[in-house]
Amino acid sequence: MRSRITVIKGLVGLLTLGLLVSCTTNVQVEGSVPTPLVAKIPANVAIFYDEKFKNFVHTEELDTEGTWNINLGEKNLEFFRNLSNAMFSSVTEVDSPEMTPEQQVQFDGLIIPTIDEYGFLTPNIGVLPFYSVSIRYQVLILNKQNERVAKYEVVGYGKSEGNSFTAGDAVGDATMLAIRDGGQQIAVELRHQPAIIEWLSQRNLD
């Protein structure tokens, strides 16, 4: 009898483990990475991507759907590399959020993009019958003296109907669209910010 109870407990444990595994959705964001067609800002800039930005993974546990792990770091980084090279005359990646004296001579400024917030909704938890994603980006611009020029914030949005996708694929598709939307806003709007215009006009006078 004892061995029978042990077997039953073992089966229950395996069943529970299987349910936990089945309630975890892992999303690897995929998709094409376009290069925005914009006039280049005439500046030679350094750009710093921290580890969180380069390897960004959003993990969230939903009562009705279990745990979601959404890995967007690779595609997000690839898109922002294309974006920065399209936006500025010259771009060099650096390994510190503060320029050295040598870099202060070499570059007009330093750009530091970050993801401030990621959010998503599925049809099960939203009021609309599609999957939606929002990504809040912040772009910090520093001048040659490592002083703040501006901090620009933008929210990218994406949605997927999900009719021909699994739930994970639909969230991945919506995430890729949100990355593109955020990047497009940065490409079009950043150059028109008053602080950026002043920085560009003053950088050669420092």
Q: What is the pLDDT of residue 22?
A: 55
Query: For the chain, where are the alpha helices, taking DSSP H only?
Result: 2-22, 51-54, 73-87, 101-106, 167-189, 194-202
CATH number of the domain encompassing residue 98: 3.30.160.150
Q: How many helices (H) and strands (E) does the chain have?
A: 6, 8
Of 14-18, 49-53, 173-177, least confident by mean pLDDT is: 14-18
- Give the global pTM: 0.85
Q: What angle do CA 100, 103, 154 make, to 5 degrees?
A: 95
Q: Which residues pair with 111 in a beta bridge?
A: 47, 141
Q: Does the residue 12 lie in any domain?
A: no
Phi, psi of 9 (to 5 degrees): -60, -40
CA gap 45, 147 in Å, rounded: 14
Q: Does the residue 6 lie in any domain?
A: no
Q: Over pLDDT 90: what percentage of the chain?
A: 75
Q: Any residues with CB less than 8 A from the CB of 15 and at least 6 apart, and which?
A: none
Positive or negative, the CA dihedral 169, 184, 119, 126 is negative
Positive or negative, the CA dihedral 101, 105, 106, 110 is positive
CA gap 161, 179 in Å, rounded: 17
**In residues, how long is the chain?**
206
Look at the chain and report how many structural domains it folds into.
1
Contact present, 122 and 65 (Cβ < 8 Å): yes
Structural domain span for residue 162: 25-205
Q: What is the rounded radius of gyration, in angstroms, for the C-alpha atoms of the chain?
A: 22
The residue type at 113: P
Q: Does the residue 17 lie in any domain?
A: no
Q: Does the residue 51 lie in any domain?
A: yes
* The pLDDT of residue 17 is above 70: no
Kindly report the average pLDDT of the chain as a whole number.
Answer: 88
Q: Does the residue 152 lie in any domain?
A: yes
Q: Does the residue 20 lie in any domain?
A: no
Write out the two tokens for 168: 């994970």
Q: Which band of pLDDT confidence, cut at 50, 70 and 90, is reported for residue 20?
A: very low
Q: Which band of pLDDT confidence, cut at 50, 70 and 90, is reported for residue 165?
A: confident
Q: Does the residue 75 lie in any domain?
A: yes
Q: Does the residue 3 lie in any domain?
A: no
Tens-place pLDDT, residues 123-153:
987 677 899 999 999 999 999 999 999 999 9
Phi, psi of 48 (to 5 degrees): -120, 125
Alpha carbon distance, N-terminus to C-terminus of the chain: 86
Tens-place pLDDT, residues 61-103:
988 889 999 999 999 999 999 999 999 999 999 999 999 999 9
